[in-house]
């Protein structure tokens, strides 16, 4: 059943667990995420990256919304990491109930201005807005942020940012990175606790692919209520296809794609258990 992002996040915030938000690019990704959520009896989010939106357009949005409506568990659909007012407006026009307005590359004042404008646009259409305060390093879908450009979330700015922009959820930067971690992850948990104390909106952790389970659980205990996963799903899908194509004989296309779905679904199911949302639907 389709639901709103805010409904899912508020329940997670009250229940002490996190909602898994999984980036999808095609039917196979959608089937994997919803299949895992139904098998785990878990709420879940389908997330569309700007690159995927550019590639799939309104048909991809329609696919996600239709699948969410038919699911046996609560499913929200969300636009991830968009810095484009045009793309955000088009996503809202296509029916997405929540978007991420990413002004993290801007100065603080510019981020406030951009985010407030996008929040007003979304709220006028009954949609919710996630924003980012700070700047997460790493690479995802062609978007790269060098480590020297990364900025941690300032707890002293967090309350002001939320008050000025009216955002519904806040993505934090506490040492998490997009894509793969090239050294041992080192999350700043005292900073996360300080941000949690400063604001009451749901907090979001990007860059969860590759984080050790104990760090994920500590993040949730300190107030994270939405966790994004992308890289591990892509790797699972591509790896499954590569392994099957390396075998002798030409595989049937449906068989090939089913193998990719199964690989992604296993990753999603494991994450849902890790996030504590299994059995919460």
CB atoms under 10 Å from CB of 5, counted, come to: 27
Residue 47, Cα to own-chain centre: how many angstroms? 6
Task: Please tell me the distance from the alpha carbon of residue 211 to that of residue 178, in angstroms, as a whole number.
Answer: 11
Tokens of 201: 């909106």
Verify whether residue 80 is a known catalytic residue: yes
Residue identified by tokens 């895992």 is 36
Question: For residues 117-153, b (16+ Cβ closer than 10 Å) or e, as one string?
Answer: ebbebbeeeebbbbbbbbbbbbebbebebeeeebebb
80, 102, 141, 168: which one is catalytic? 80
Residue 125, Cα to own-chain centre: how many angstroms? 21
CB atoms under 10 Å from CB of 203, counted, come to: 26
Mind giving me the DSSP string for 12-81? HHHHT--EEEEE--SHHHHHHHHHHHHHHT--EEEEE-HHHHHHHHHHHHHHHHHHHHH-SS-EEEEEEE
State how beta strands 143-145 and 137-140 pair: antiparallel
The residues that are catalytic are 80
């Amino acid at each position: 059943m389709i639901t709103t992002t805010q409904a899912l996040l508020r329940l997670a915030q009250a229940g002490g667990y996190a909602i898994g938000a999984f980036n999808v690019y095609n039917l196979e990704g959608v089937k994997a995420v919803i299949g895992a959520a139904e098998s785990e009896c878990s709420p879940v989010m389908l997330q569309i990256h700007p690159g995927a939106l550019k590639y799939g357009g309104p048909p991809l949005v329609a696919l996600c919304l239709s699948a969410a409506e038919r699911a046996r568990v609560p499913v929200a659909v969300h636009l991830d990491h968009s810095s484009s007012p045009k793309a955000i407006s088009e996503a809202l026009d296509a029916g997405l109930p929540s978007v991420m307005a990413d002004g993290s590359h801007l100065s603080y004042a510019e981020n406030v201005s951009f985010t407030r404008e996008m929040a007003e646009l979304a709220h006028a259409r009954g949609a919710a807005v996630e924003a980012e305060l700070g700047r997460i390093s790493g690479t995802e879908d062609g978007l790269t942020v060098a480590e020297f450009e990364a900025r941690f979330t300032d707890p002293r700015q967090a309350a002001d940012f939320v008050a000025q922009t009216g955002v519904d959820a806040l993505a934090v930067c506490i040492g998490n990175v997009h894509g793969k971690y090239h050294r041992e992850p080192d999350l700043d948990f005292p900073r996360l606790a300080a941000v949690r104390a400063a604001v009451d909106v749901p907090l979001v952790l990007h860059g969860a692919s590759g984080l050790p389970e104990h760090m994920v659980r500590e993040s949730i205990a300190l107030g994270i209520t939405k966790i994004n996963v992308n890289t591990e799903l892509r790797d699972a899908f591509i790896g499954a296809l590569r392994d099957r194509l390396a075998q002798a004989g030409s595989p049937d296309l449906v068989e090939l794609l089913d193998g990719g779905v199964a690989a992604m679904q296993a990753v999603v199911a494991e994450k849902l258990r890790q996030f504590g949302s299994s059995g919460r639907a």
